[in-house]
Amino acid sequence: MLTIRDLCNQFLANRKGNIASGELTSVSFPDDYATCARIVKAFGVARAMADLGARDLERFRASIE
């Protein structure tokens, strides 16, 4: 089961790899990390990705506008 934590960790690891390879600069990493932290706070670390639906994402988007 893929959780919110798993997905965020995979995303951040990918970003670090992109930085290490020179594809990205480290300038955006703090923003990427902060976004993942907001996602984890909103949905919970153990929430299964398969359980997220359109309404969840709509509520999340409204909470950050």
User: How many Cβ atoms are within 10 Å of 60's Cβ, its own excluded?
Assistant: 14
Band (pLDDT 50/70/90 cuts) for residue 17 is very high
Quote the mean pLDDT of the chain: 95
Question: Please, which pLDDT band fits residue 65 given cuts at 50, 70 and 90?
Answer: confident
* pLDDT score of 46: 96
Q: For the chain, what is the domain count?
A: 1
Q: Which two tokens stand for residue 10?
A: 């995979």
